[in-house]
């Protein structure tokens, strides 16, 4: 972990052949089944150490904060309108339930957003209008990455985090030289 600078979660160390037990953590806990979590301590961009903790093994915990179901669908329709090129496009994105912490104590509900737009190429000019989150969906994209990683937020559902941007539109004009 110190070499890569990435956090490590070993859900059940007795089943992990790569767990070397260099710190002697297994002897200190007196348990056969524990979970080991280790995060890097960084200074500037270098990893200068690590902070590790052992927890009782919980069979139901997956220690995976990523959504198990997510994706997007982006249909588009391109056609000519006289000499001009026109494109109409849409976007449907969905993100399933996920967690703010390593131990899956604080859940963030899933959400869906719909967007769309159109573009027109007129000679050297390009015009585009785009709308995101057209139905003003509400949701959290992530929790507080600085404080929520171990303890969560003290509740089973997230109470704060980075929200989705509300309904918004952009109009873009550009010219090729």
pLDDT tens digits, one per residue of 74-106: 899 999 999 999 999 999 998 888 888 777 778
**Domain stops at, among 61, 77, 108:** 61
**Domain stops at, among 61, 84, 113:** 61
Judge whether 176 and 126 are in contact, CB under 8 Å: yes
**Count: domains in the chain:** 2
Average pLDDT on 113-127 reads 95
Same domain? 151 vs 114? yes
Instruction: Tell me the sheet residues that pair with 169.
Output: 131
Supply φ then ψ for residue 168, to 5 degrees.
-150, 155
What CATH number corresponds to the domain at position 2?
3.30.450.40
Same domain? 3 vs 79? no
Same domain? 57 vs 73? no
- Positive or negative, the CA dihedral 18, 24, 27, 31 is negative
Range of the domain at 40: 1-61
Same domain? 118 vs 78? yes
């Amino acid at each position: 972990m110190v070499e890569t600078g990435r956090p490590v979660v070993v859900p059940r160390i007795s089943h992990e052949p790569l767990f070397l037990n260099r710190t002697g953590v297994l002897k200190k806990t007196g348990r056969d089944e524990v979970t080991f979590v280790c995060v890097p301590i960084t200074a500037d961009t270098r990893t200068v150490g690590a902070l590790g903790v052992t927890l009782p093994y919980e069979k139901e915990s997956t220690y995976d904060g990523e959504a198990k179901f997510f994706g997007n669908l982006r249909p588009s329709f391109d056609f000519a309108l006289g000499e001009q090129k026109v494109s109409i496009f849409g976007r449907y994105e969905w993100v399933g339930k996920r967690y703010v912490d390593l131990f899956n104590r604080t859940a963030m509900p899933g959400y869906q957003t719909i967007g769309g737009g159109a573009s027109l190429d007129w000679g050297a000019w390009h015009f585009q209008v785009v709308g995101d989150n057209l139905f003003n969906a509400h949701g959290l994209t992530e929790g507080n990455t600085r404080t929520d990683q171990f303890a969560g937020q003290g509740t089973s559902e997230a109470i704060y985090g980075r929200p989705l941007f509300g309904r918004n539109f952009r109009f873009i004009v550009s010219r090729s030289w």
